[in-house]
Amino acid sequence: MSDFEGKVAIVTGAGGGLGRCHALAFAERGAKVVVNDLGGSVHGAGASDMADVVVEEITAAGGVAIANKASVSDRDGAKSIVDDAVAAFGSVDIVVNNAGILRDKSFKNMTLDEFDLVIDVHLRGSAYVTKAAWPIMYEKNWGRVVFTSSTSGIFGNFGQANYGAAKMAMLGLMNVLAIEGASHNIRVNCLAPGAATRMTASVPGSRFDADGPPPAEMDPALVTPAVLLMCSEDAPSANTIHASGGRYSRSQTYTNQGISLGTDATFDELMDQTETVRDMSAASPFDPLNRGRR
């Protein structure tokens, strides 16, 4: 029996690219899927019936799915995604927060509106949808949540201050919700994907063609196994999993022992010990679920 047989999965931004692959995979394995997509451009403009197309693809293959075309960045719209899942299927088990847009510019040239728009969709949108599903998962003592992060946030990338800030914030949200959900079997993880999609094709200098098939080594479908892992019965929690081209790995926060200068600490003393403070040669990973090193 599949881990996903009879489960209800919400996938946001599932009209194409990564989200579409996630939605198809859940449906193939017996989940009932809510395919959410506003159907706009990678910059967040416009709307279309992309979600309907994916639903038709799922149903044609014998799966079960419904479409929702609300914007995750709107509180009522985000709640409607969960409401539609409950109305159609009676519950929510899995939320994959995948919806996103880009407004890439150097920070010097970026307007605050461009900063806010990306934060609204990626960070607030993920929080809004998860917030609406959280009480249901809490009550049933079972839930799986995936936030989509990025190496642009975890490691940084030129011209993506808004996107990088939102994507690194996913790790903070994951860590807190993994702690808060642990007692009710709600497991929360982050995905850091790499694939050829409409979004990556729009990045200046990209070698991907938004209108053509993705290169085999950058097929979005190769990211989806990591999502299935993070939503399975034996899923980890508070993990950041990287997935690209069939390669899967994990990144984690490490801390060192540092120094203690006591309550009389001064700037001069700290300056004398700067190298010790910064030395990570003996650092160890920090596990937020155990509030300590592992």
Residues 291 and 225 in one domain: no
One domain for residues 219 and 190: yes
Q: Which amino acid is at 7?
A: K
Backbone angles phi, psi at 249, to 5 degrees: -155, 180
120 and 237 inside one domain: yes
Kindly report the CATH number assigned to the domain that includes residue 217: 3.40.50.720
Mean pLDDT for all residues in the chain:
92
Run of H or E including 157: none
pLDDT at 46 over 90: no
Q: Identify the CA nearest to 236 among candidates 168, 190, 193, 294.
A: 190
| Residue 114 in domain | yes
For residue 273, tell me if it sits in a domain. yes
Task: With respect to residue 291, please indicate whether it lies within any of the assigned structural domains.
Answer: yes
Q: Are 33 and 61 within one domain?
A: yes
Out of 138, 163, 248, 254, the active site residue is 163
Instruction: Tell me the mean pLDDT in the region 138-155.
Output: 97
- Answer yes or no: is 244 within a domain: yes
- Considering the domain architecture, whether residues 53 and 163 belong to the same structural domain is answered as yes
Measured CA to CA in angstroms, residue 122 lies from 37, 76, 205, 230 at distances of: 13, 16, 23, 19
254 classed as catalytic: no
Compute the distance between CA of residue 196 and CA of residue 198 in angstroms, rounded to an integer.
7
Domain that holds residue 291: 254-294
Percent of the chain at pLDDT exceeding 90: 86
pTM of the model: 0.91
Residues 142 and 270 in one domain: no
- In tens, the pLDDT along 185-224 reads 999 999 999 987 555 544 555 455 556 666 677 799 999 9
With respect to residue 40, please indicate whether it lies within any of the assigned structural domains: yes
The pLDDT tens digits for 162-192 are 999 999 999 999 999 999 999 999 999 999 9
CB of 43 within 8 A of CB of 10?
no
Number of compact structural domains in the chain: 2
The span from the CA of 162 to the CA of 167, in Å, is: 9
Q: Both 45 and 101 in a single domain?
A: yes
175 φ, ψ (degrees, to nearest 5): -60, -45
Q: Is residue 145 part of a domain?
A: yes
- pLDDT computed for residue 44 by the predictor: 54
Looking at the fold, whether 161 and 291 belong to one and the same domain comes out as no
**pLDDT on residue 201:** 46
Specify if 23 maps to a domain: yes
Does residue 36 lie within any of the structural domains? yes
Query: Using CB atoms within 10 A of its CB, is residue 90 exposed (0-12), middle (13-18) or buried (19+)?
Result: exposed
Q: Distance of CA 105 to CAs 116, 128, 151, 192, Å? A: 13, 26, 17, 21
pLDDT at residue 205, rounded to an integer: 53
